[in-house]
Amino acid sequence: MALTASLLTACAQPAPPRDNFYRLTMTAPAQSFPKPVLPGILEVNRLDTDGALTERALAYQEADGALARYAYDLWSDAPATAIQQNLAEYLRAAHAADEVVTPDLRVPPDWALRGRLSRFEYLPAQSKVAVKLQLSVVSARDGTLVLLRSYGTDTPVQGVGPEAAVAAFNRAMADVLTRFAADLSQVQPPIQNRRP
């Protein structure tokens, strides 16, 4: 009987922690463009990235500088995909182009927004998140570069842990989107003939 009780005790282990999923939320643009900066269709592509940023787990930097991932705290989509969706929604709401689409619609675009995500990590020892990405707008017809900018921000985390970091990531992306829209408002895209 004692053997059975000890076997049952050994087998009874606590359940593993549950997964927590987080979304990047899109902040509405402070203002819309009076008329589309990019006449025609703008296609927002998924950002290029590699390493830990291709995965859904929240990345953080350990005290020694090594990049690690949380085991049970995950983005609902990989960061590059979530940022693509936020960019598309933001630029659509701001009326940056006549139409703003993503490649899954398979609509021939006039313009393409491309980018590279190089940092998207929580730095708990410094109580901040670091975001760094490069965005470009090119003519989908002839590859003419219309805009190329890099955006980086270190945003303070108000609190501790993944939930507080996610709130800081949302503030960081709101800042990046606002700055990108301001830069886009200054461009003079080349005149293109509309697609038939």
Give domain status of residue 17, yes or no. no
CA–CA gap between residue 134 and residue 189 (Å, rounded): 19
Q: How many domains is the chain built from?
A: 1
Give domain status of residue 150, yes or no. yes
Query: How much of the chain exceeds pLDDT 90, in percent?
Result: 80
CATH, residue 63: 3.40.50.10610
pTM, 2 dp: 0.87
CA–CA gap between residue 143 and residue 111 (Å, rounded): 9
Give domain status of residue 194, yes or no. no
Beta strand 111-123 with 128-139 is antiparallel
Query: Domain limits at 87?
Result: 41-184
Give domain status of residue 16, yes or no. no
How many residues are listed for the chain in this entry? 196
| pLDDT at site 6 | 56
For 118-150, how does the pLDDT look when each residue is reduced to its tens digit (9 = 90+)?
999 999 999 999 999 999 999 999 999 999 999
Give domain status of residue 71, yes or no. yes
Residues in CB range of 85: below 8 A, 6 or more apart: 24, 26, 77, 102
pLDDT(12) > 80: no
| pLDDT at site 79 | 96
For 71-115, how does the pLDDT look when each residue is reduced to its tens digit (9 = 90+)?
999 999 999 999 999 999 999 999 999 999 999 999 999 999 999
Give domain status of residue 45, yes or no. yes
In which band, very low, low, confident or very high, does the pLDDT at 17 lie, cut at 50, 70 and 90? confident
Give domain status of residue 130, yes or no. yes
| pLDDT at site 7 | 52
Residues in CB range of 112: below 8 A, 6 or more apart: 42, 43, 45, 137, 138, 139, 140
